[in-house]
Each structure stands twice: as structure tokens, then as C-alpha cells.
Structure 1
Amino acid sequence: MLVTALVSLAALSSASVALTALRARAIETDAPRIGELTDVGGFSLHALHVPANADASLPPIVFIHGASGNLRDQATAFLGPLEGRAELLFVDRPGHGYSQRGGPDTAYPDGQAAAVARLMEQRGIDRAIIVGHSFGGAIAASFGVLYPEKTAGLLFLAPASHPWPGGVDWYYRLASTPLVGPLFCHTVALHAGKARLDAATRTVFAPNPCPHDYVQHTAPALVLRPAAFRANATDVANLHGYVSRFAKRYREIKAPTVIVTGGSDAIVLEEIHARGLARDIEGSELVWIKGLGHKPDYLARDLAIAAIEKIAGHKRDLQAMARALEPELAKAGVAVPEGNSGPLDNQ
């Protein structure tokens, strides 16, 4: 009887692995590579590189997406309004989207910052404004500390950057463990993730409405492919330990810095992360927006672009823009959260 049960379990697992492979290929067909692969020292990063116009008024800008994301997230938000105004580089972080994972160092924000720095060099970008959303905030902060000569400024959007009480969701821990983790990623994770993708996406935007075409344009399902899911889980599982060690170095950052955060962000608690960065980075500007959740890149996009302009030396009143946005957010209504999603659910 035990042998029969084991044979049945093995057959079920094999079928699930095969179905996972089929569904992963379908995800890639629906969301093909839109950038170019560049070798950054033994592995390749996928990035969308958009040149500036001759009359560009802004320095180069590098966009770093958050957990469970890919470069389409930031490109969908910012490519249209910024195209031509600056040289733009939208990056799939190591192991995400169509970027290769690289070595063990890329499981931590400083290793990913190093990969971005090498990509900039390969693309001929000497200095840039670094924009980091959510988990990308830890990478942007690490970049500002480790590569000050390449940092023209920093824009943090709902950043994850400091130690927080609590932990992360169980599936991040499970997927990042040896042996059991790969099995989970190849048999269960994609199917469970697809079933709750829309609800999870709405939770990321909550309490604000999620754009109806967000999933279609940004392809969050790419993270459900086994290798990407494991890379994402490892990133998230490692984050607390990393920021516990590294956050004390944020005081070394001297580049112009703006931090945009929402008072209703249930994914990354602004009082720990955004306010921690504002405290640690001398001369930085904190822009706090009542009623805003975890997606200022979409719900406060014009303000984020104005922040980039201010970092570049243009005069912009970000606080006035924040106050003007708050009644618009209230008027737009709220979304009802469903389930949990995001890098720091259990704060």
C-alpha cells in the first residue's frame, strides 16, 4: 500500500511538473522579451534601453522594480511620459523577468546593485538618477552607498529599506529552502499563484483601485515560473537580514534624494522604511501622501516625475502636489483588499 501511494505521488508530481512547464511557456508567449540581454560578468541582464532626444533636459534614469515584478511594471508607468526627455534604462533584476540569476551575491541587494552598475557601464551611462520601487528601494539605497560616483540622485517609491518586526509569508521561506523549495516551485507555486493573481494584484494597489489593464501590460505572471519564483522568494527571505546589517550605511548617501510614500500602504510600513530613509539620508525630502497605498508609481506618477525633475535641479513643489493629490485619491474610491501580497506582508 505504501509503495502504491508513493508511486501515485510520484506520478502526480511528474504531471504537475509537466503542467508547470507548459504553463510557464504560455506565460512567456503572452509576455515575450521586450529589451536586450547584456553580459554583466558571467551572466546576462535583460533591460529596455531607450535613448534620449537631442534636447533632453534630464539626466539618465535607471528604474529598479520591486518584488514579484519585472521591468514592464516601471516601463508601463514611466516610458510614455518620459520617453525622449532622458536616457531611460528599465532593468529586470537578476533572476526576474528575462534576466539570468548570476551567482550567490545576486541574492542580496548589494549584489543586484553591482549588476546594475555593470549594466550601466556596458550601456555607456556614467551617472543616473536611480528610481527604486518597494524591494527596489533596498537596491537603490545600496547603489547610492556603494556607487556614489554613478548616482546623480535617488527616488524611492514606497521603499523597503529597514528592519521590520515580524517576517514574510510562509511560501517565500518554503520556496527559498534547499530541496523542498525547487520541488514546490516546479509543482505547486505556479498553479496556486495563477489562481490568485488578480486578487493579489488588487491587494498591492489597495486601498486604491487597480488599473483594469495593469496585469495585461505588466505581466506579473512572469514571476510564477519556477526559477523566477525561487529567485524572488530568496530575495524576500534574505531582505530582513540584509537591511539589518546594511541600513546603518545609508547615512553615507550624499546624492539628492526624494522619498514618496503613502499613508495607507499596508505592504511596506512607511513609518519604518520611508521615514527611516528620511532620517538617515541628510537633506532628503519625504513626500507623504494621505490615502495612497503601495503604488505611487501609478497613483502618484506625475508627482514621481516631478520628483525626478527636482532631483535634476528643476524647481518643483512636491508637498503642494501631494496635498492636491489627496482629495483626488479620496474621490477615486478604494479597492477592497483580498488576501495578502507583497514582500513584507507580515509586518
Structure 2
Amino acid sequence: MRLILVLALIACGFWALTLWRAARHEARAEASHPPRGQFVEVDGTRIHAEVLGEGPDLVMIHGSNGNTRDMTYALAPVLARHFRVILFDRPGLGFSDALPTDAAGIDQQAAILARAARAMGSDRPMVLGHSYGGAVALAWAVNHPDSLSALIPVSAASNPWTTPLDLLYRVTSNPIGAAVAVPLIAAYVPDWYVTKSLEDVFAPQSEPGDYANHFGPGLSLRRGSLRANAMHRALLLDQIRSLHLRYGEITIPTEIVHGTADDTVNFELHAVNLSNQIKGANLTALDGVGHMPHHVAVDAVVAAVLRAAHRAGLR
């Protein structure tokens, strides 16, 4: 009995230390990379948004486990020369509030971001989404067709795949994993581990030398962000299975940008199929480019946005 008590005290002490370390890590990440925009409230949910430039409205939606800083590193400052760029932190990531667990998928994210854009005076913006954010942009176009003027999916997840959900997300998206594994990750996984993983995301190109410092890897290791991102990933495939059957309903100008060497979101499965599913869609295939064309092929992405604006009668 005494041994059990000692072990229980040790376990409690370790868990208290874990929670303290996680909180300290989160506070340090938010202090070094604070919110730089404004907050708009939609039905009690606060959405963080940054606004750059002037002109026709362009909403930009970041990818998995990211935040607005991914888009402001290279692409948004260039596009801000031509457009009023509105960058949103997706719900649960960056500094936006999370949605309820049972309503956190791409359909719900698209709905709340469309309403956030409207609250900021943007009724029919062009919408650009990268990777997971591209899936949100597609859901926006399908479910809210009158609330956007053009669509630019970049390296977007768009069609059903057969590979299983990563073990990390299988663990962190279930209640036990969310309660136990997530605090352990937040407390003990160092920022450099996220920085190292960026090499795989950028491959076969190299990550820009100061990208990690701009992006803020610690923001992705907060408990709330880890839980939200895991749930987003766990829900995505089932929602894509339903959504992809409706791409034929999209009638707005659509400019698809995708790298042929993308090992994260396969070019043939997603980009080529999507270009055939949306009537009049134009596909820009970037030969040899990986998953991050908005960093390594900025001019090509900007050209696609300008074409979309021209086709939408905005230029």
C-alpha cells in the first residue's frame, strides 16, 4: 500500500511538472510571436485576421497546423501590392478560437470564415487556400457560392485518398490521447523538432533560412493547437469524400496551382482530378516543385491570382 502511495505521488508530481512545462512553453511561444492583426467575432467565436494592402479583396487561408505567418512570409506582401489581403487564422490555430469538436471540419470552417470576411466588409472576396486551407476554400466555393468571386487552390487536398491517418493524429484526436499525449508533446517536444520537420514539407526545395523564426514553431506545439489540428485531420477524409462529388457546381473562375513533386498532397490525385472536376478551371503545374509553392514559386502563384482577378472582372 505504501509503495502504491509513493508511485501515485510520483505520478502526480510528474503530471504537475508536465502541465507547468506545457504552460511555460505556450507562454514563451505567444510572447515571441504575438497576434499581429485584429479580432472579429462570429457567434461568440473570435477569429484572428491580418489585413495588408488595398484593392479588390483576397482572403488567404493557411494549411495544416499553421497560422497567418505562413502566408505573410513571402506571398502576402507581394499580393498586397494589388489587393486588400485578408489573412485568417483557421479556427483553433494561431490565435483564433477553436470550434466544437463535432463541428470543426472544413464545412464549418468555411462557413465561419465566410462570415468573418463579411463582418470585415468583404462580401465576395477571391479565396486562396493552401493545402488543408485549399480544402476549406473548396468547401467555401461549394457551400457558399455567392460569397466569393474567384477560387485559387494551392497544393490543395481535394479528392479522397487511401493512405491511413498518421499514427500521431490517430492518438491525439481521440479523447485519451488529447488528454494525455497532447500535454506531453507540448511540454517536452522542443521547437527545433518542428523546425526539422519543415525540411520534409519543403522538399525537394530547401526551407528559407529564416522561415522558422518568422513562422513561430512554438505556436504549433500549444495544447489547443495540437488538439484542433488533430481533429481537423481526423475529420478531413470523410468530408472530402462528400465534398468532391459537388465540385461540378463550382462556376466561379478557378486557378489551381500545384507542384508536380508534391509528396504531401499528390499532384495527379488532387490537382489533375480537380482541374477536370471544375468546368473552366486552369491548372498551373509547377515542374519539380514540392508542397510549398507559395514560398518557392511566388511569382507563379501571384500570376495565378492575377489571372483569377482578371477572369472575375476585378482588374
Tell me, in whole angstroms, the C-alpha distance in 1 between the residues paired with 2:273 and 2:217: 29
Contact map agreement 1:16 1:188 (CA 8 A) in 2: no
Greater CA drift, 172-181 or 292-301: 172-181
Tell me, in whole angstroms, the C-alpha distance in 2 between the residues paired with 1:193 and 1:144: 38
Residue by residue over 1:305-342, the C-alpha shift from the partner in whole angstroms, topping out at 9 and shown as x without a partner, is 1101101117xxxxxxxxxxxxxxxxxxxxxxxxxxxx
Tell me, in whole angstroms, the C-alpha distance in 2 between the residues paired with 1:128 and 1:66: 19
Tell me, in whole angstroms, the C-alpha distance in 2 between the residues paired with 1:16 and 1:151: 45
Instruction: Give the structure 1 partner of residue 26 of structure 2.
Output: 24
Q: CA deviation at 1:259?
A: 1.1
1:299-310 equivalences under 5 Å are 299-310=296-307
Counterpart AA for 2:232: D
Contact map agreement 2:52 2:77 (CA 8 A) in 1: no
Instruction: Give the structure 2 partner of residue 10 of structure 1.
Output: 12
Which consecutive unaligned segments of at least 5 residues does structure 2 have? Answer: none
Instruction: Give the structure 1 partner of residue 260 of structure 2.
Output: 263
Instruction: Give the structure 1 partner of residue 38 of structure 2.
Output: 36
> Is the aligned partner of 1:156 residue 2:158?
no
Contact map agreement 1:94 1:106 (CA 8 A) in 2: no
Which consecutive unaligned segments of at least 5 residues does structure 1 have? Answer: 315-347
Residue by residue over 1:136-192, the C-alpha shift from the partner in whole angstroms, topping out at 9 and shown as x without a partner, is 111000001111112211111111122111122211111111133122111234532
Residue by residue over 1:79-114, the C-alpha shift from the partner in whole angstroms, topping out at 9 and shown as x without a partner, is 321224211100000000000013346410010000
Tell me, in whole angstroms, the C-alpha distance in 1 between the residues paired with 2:161 and 2:7: 43
Change (3 A) 1:195 1:3: farther
Counterpart AA for 2:173: S
Contact map agreement 1:185 1:230 (CA 8 A) in 2: yes
Tell me, in whole angstroms, the C-alpha distance in 2 between the residues paired with 1:193 and 1:206: 22
SS of corresponding position for 2:40: strand
Q: CA deviation at 1:126?
A: 1.4
Instruction: Give the structure 2 partner of residue 146 of structure 1.
Output: 143
Instruction: Give the structure 1 partner of residue 276 of structure 2.
Output: 279
SS of corresponding position for 1:308: helix
Contact map agreement 1:105 1:111 (CA 8 A) in 2: no
Of 203, 215, 240, which aligns to 1:206? 203
Query: Hey, which bits of structure 1, 4+ residues long, moved more than 6 A?
Result: none
Instruction: Give the structure 2 partner of residue 345 of structure 1.
Output: none
Contact map agreement 2:195 2:217 (CA 8 A) in 1: no
Instruction: Give the structure 2 partner of residue 171 of structure 1.
Output: 168
Change (3 A) 1:104 1:299: same
> Is the aligned partner of 1:239 residue 2:236?
yes
Q: CA deviation at 1:290?
A: 1.7
Counterpart AA for 2:44: G
> Is the aligned partner of 1:219 residue 2:221?
no
Counterpart AA for 1:30: S
Q: CA deviation at 1:241?
A: 1.2
Change (3 A) 1:293 1:190: farther
Contact map agreement 1:66 1:136 (CA 8 A) in 2: yes
Counterpart AA for 1:7: L
Tell me, in whole angstroms, the C-alpha distance in 2 between the residues paired with 1:193 and 1:155: 34
Identity percentage of aligned residues: 33
Q: CA deviation at 1:131?
A: 0.4
Counterpart AA for 2:77: G
SS of corresponding position for 1:167: coil
Tell me, in whole angstroms, the C-alpha distance in 1 between the residues paired with 2:102 and 2:69: 24
SS of corresponding position for 2:150: strand
Residue by residue over 1:279-311, the C-alpha shift from the partner in whole angstroms, topping out at 9 and shown as x without a partner, is 211110111122100001011111111101101
Q: TM-score, normalised by structure 1?
A: 0.85
Instruction: Give the structure 2 partner of residue 101 of structure 1.
Output: 98
Contact map agreement 2:19 2:187 (CA 8 A) in 1: no
Tell me, in whole angstroms, the C-alpha distance in 1 between the residues paired with 2:276 and 2:6: 61
Contact map agreement 1:208 1:292 (CA 8 A) in 2: yes
Instruction: Give the structure 2 partner of residue 133 of structure 1.
Output: 130
Q: CA deviation at 1:258?
A: 1.1
Tell me, in whole angstroms, the C-alpha distance in 2 between the residues paired with 1:16 and 1:195: 19
Tell me, in whole angstroms, the C-alpha distance in 1 between the residues paired with 2:187 and 2:293: 28
Tell me, in whole angstroms, the C-alpha distance in 1 between the residues paired with 2:127 and 2:64: 17
Residue by residue over 1:230-258, the C-alpha shift from the partner in whole angstroms, topping out at 9 and shown as x without a partner, is 00010011111111122101111111111
> Is the aligned partner of 1:50 residue 2:69?
no
SS of corresponding position for 1:273: helix
